[in-house]
Amino acid sequence: MATVNPDILKKAKTWLTDIFDNETKSEINRLIEENPKELEESFYKNVEFGTGGMRGVMGVGTNRINKYTLGKNTQGLSDYLKKSFPDKEIKVAIAYDCRNNSQKLAKVVADVFSANGIRVFLFSELRPTPELSFAVRKLDCQCGIVLTASHNPPEYNGYKVYWEDGGQLVPPQDTELVDTINNLEYSAVNFNAKEELIEKIDTEVDQAFAEASVENGSFDISAKARENLKVVFTSLHGTSITMVPEVLNKAGFSNVFLVEEQKKPDGNFPTVKSPNPEEPEALKMALELAEKQNADIVIGTDPDCDRLGVAVRDLDGKMILLNGNQTMLVMTWFLLEQWKKERKIKGKEFVASTIVSTPMLKNLVEDYGVQYMEVLTGFKWIAKLIKDHPELDFIGGGEESFGYMVGDFVRDKDAVTATLLACEIAAQLKAEGNSFYNKLLELYAKYGLYREELISLVKKGIEGEKEIKQMLIDLRENPWEEIDGEKVVLVEDYKTSVAKNVQDHNEQRIDIPKSNVLIYYTENGTKIAARPSGTEPKIKFYISVNTELSSAEDYTEENKKLSDKIARIKQELKLG
């Protein structure tokens, strides 16, 4: 027998009892005999809830996504729901994406809920994640679940939990739920479905969601302007194909070209290395189709349709992929303009973003007399703001990682409505003789030129996890004092909730929930944030630099200077 860590072996052998099926036991025995390293990775911890719910590699073990880990989650959630809503008939909505095993795992989750006497609305086929958020409130549910791993690689799957407001779980519910789950034994999971409590849903919710998306994402733009916009869209083998083409058609966009090779939902994502619209390579086929059709805009969505990548033509007519900050800036500007035109800005409105997104957004939002609010990474925190501030009207919000939310009919990032919004903006600007890209340059000239770059360092497995923890410890114990010749003036530590002025040593409390994030600011406004990913084995560094831009004509030259500055910072801080 190969050498296996004794503690891991002991834990793995608890999965060789009659609680688990023969297929699971056979695989564990194989790992014990043939692959002790994989056995260790599968059992060294429990798969955890992170920024976007729970994500992990599929397989056997406590640190994997499988029937038993999701069954235990769902049993714990069932117990927690009964405790939270003692006098209600509890209802739960469940959706799933295109990933391998998503449909099967969704049925396992439905079975456990129903076995616990909870009424289940289960989508009959794959659907976008934002539609699940919508369905929770539409069907008056106390909870919602979507089986997805967003844009992670094909071997992943996951489990996102939504509460009755349509937003994802946040403190204190998330920690209370985790405690409930951790106190359960696998033997306590009830898999014996009560089929009479499981109801399939589709058309009625689909139609309501599509109508709400058109209502929230459409504005006073002529039918001719919509018809004249040439759009290329790709679902990247994901769920958006079930909703985005229909919504665009309903709104009046008839000149839409789909990437046929990527239309069919497929959890293996055969035409891309990664189904992530943040990466230009993922949109390669869409960009080729755009040249063939002379399209104005290209949009691609990730597998569960909550993120979108937008490419538009630059001043030379070349298609370029905008980053999430850039798309968010133009979308927010457009929404603010619409609210201003309709005289709806009364001083009780807000726009939200995250602490690692571009600082430029604050300049833009406050210029319109609208409140700007900042939260931790993840749209669950933006949803919580809406819930916590019923006295304020939410206009929209986004984050650098290619997510946007229009209004509050959905309480999560929503690539269906955001796709429509991007097309509305492009159509109006084209009709005016302007363009999406040129508008971005105009905003830079007015509010300052900001350039951001994200560096993700992948650190897989047990050793990688240790390395990420040590990197953040080192940053705290040996903080940067100077970056690219600029003195560091402020360090925000979201783990201790302390913002320290490095110059006068004054400290202020950060009024945001604790998180393992560090943000450095220099005297010239350079900003660098460091945080471990909540959903992938990565540590992320977010660099933001800025300068004044006297006119759009100077953009290329000034942007090159900022690009060089980021390159120097990466080299200096060894982030390459």
Taking only Cα atoms into account, the Rg of the chain, rounded to an integer number of angstroms, comes to 24
pLDDT at 180: 93
Q: What is the pLDDT of residues 521-535, one digit of tens each?
A: 999 999 999 999 877
Helix ranges (DSSP H) in 116-148: 129-138
d(CA 304, CA 97): 6
Q: Name residue 330's beta-bridge partners.
A: none
CB 304 within 8 A of CB 96: no
Confidence (pTM): 0.96
Q: What is the pLDDT of residues 443-495, one digit of tens each?
A: 999 999 999 999 999 888 888 888 899 999 999 999 999 999 999 999 999 99
Instruction: Kindly give, in sequence order, each residue whose CB lies less than 8 Å from that of residue 482, ignoring residues fewer than 6 positions away.
Output: 488, 522
SS3 293: helix
Confidence of residue 162 (pLDDT cuts 50, 70, 90): very high
Q: Please say whether the dihedral angle defined by the alpha carbons of residues 286, 288, 293 and 296, taken in this order, is positive or negative.
A: positive
Cis bond upstream, residue 154 (ω within 30): no
**For the chain, what is the mean pLDDT?**
95
CB 352 within 8 A of CB 443: no
Confidence of residue 52 (pLDDT cuts 50, 70, 90): low
pLDDT at 192: 98
**Residue 1 pLDDT more than 60?**
no
pLDDT at 96: 98
Q: Which residue has the tokens 């055969």?
A: 270
Q: What is the pLDDT of residues 329-369, one digit of tens each?
A: 999 999 999 999 999 999 999 999 999 999 999 999 999 99
Q: What is the pLDDT of residues 191-207, one digit of tens each?
A: 999 999 999 999 999 99
Instruction: Please compute the mean of the pLDDT values over residues 502-529 and round it to a whole number.
Output: 94
Please list the active-site residues.
150
Q: What is the pLDDT of residues 389-447, one digit of tens each?
A: 999 999 999 999 999 999 999 999 999 999 999 999 999 999 999 999 999 999 999 99
Confidence of residue 3 (pLDDT cuts 50, 70, 90): confident
pLDDT at 48: 84
**Two tokens at 57?**
């590699």
pLDDT at 51: 60
Confidence of residue 215 (pLDDT cuts 50, 70, 90): very high
> CA torsion, points 194, 199, 200, 204, in degrees to nearest 10?
-170
Instruction: Please compute the mean of the pLDDT values over residues 15-25 and round it to a whole number.
Output: 96
Q: What is the pLDDT of residues 366-395, one digit of tens each?
A: 999 999 999 999 999 999 999 999 999 999
d(CA 10, CA 431): 68
pLDDT at 534: 75
Residue positions counted in the chain? 576
d(CA 205, CA 398): 25
Could you list the beta-strand ranges (E) of 86-142: 91-96, 119-123
pLDDT at 524: 95
CB 549 within 8 A of CB 555: yes
Q: Which residue has the tokens 């007399």?
A: 369
Confidence of residue 174 (pLDDT cuts 50, 70, 90): confident
pLDDT at 464: 87
Q: Name residue 297's beta-bridge partners.
A: 231, 312
CB 256 within 8 A of CB 296: no
Q: Name residue 492's beta-bridge partners.
A: 499, 519
Listed residue (29, 22, 21, 28) closest to 42, CA to CA:
28
Q: What is the pLDDT of residues 62-94, one digit of tens each?
A: 999 999 999 999 999 999 999 999 999 999 999
d(CA 459, CA 537): 5
Q: Name residue 258's beta-bridge partners.
A: 233
d(CA 458, CA 468): 9
Going from the C-alpha of 380 to that of each of 284, 383, 397, 402, 526, the distances in angstroms are 31, 5, 12, 15, 27
Q: What is the pLDDT of residues 94-150, one digit of tens each?
A: 999 999 999 999 999 999 999 999 999 999 999 999 999 999 999 999 999 999 999
Could you list the beta-strand ranges (E) of 107-155: 119-123, 143-147
Helix (H) or strand (E) holding 402: none
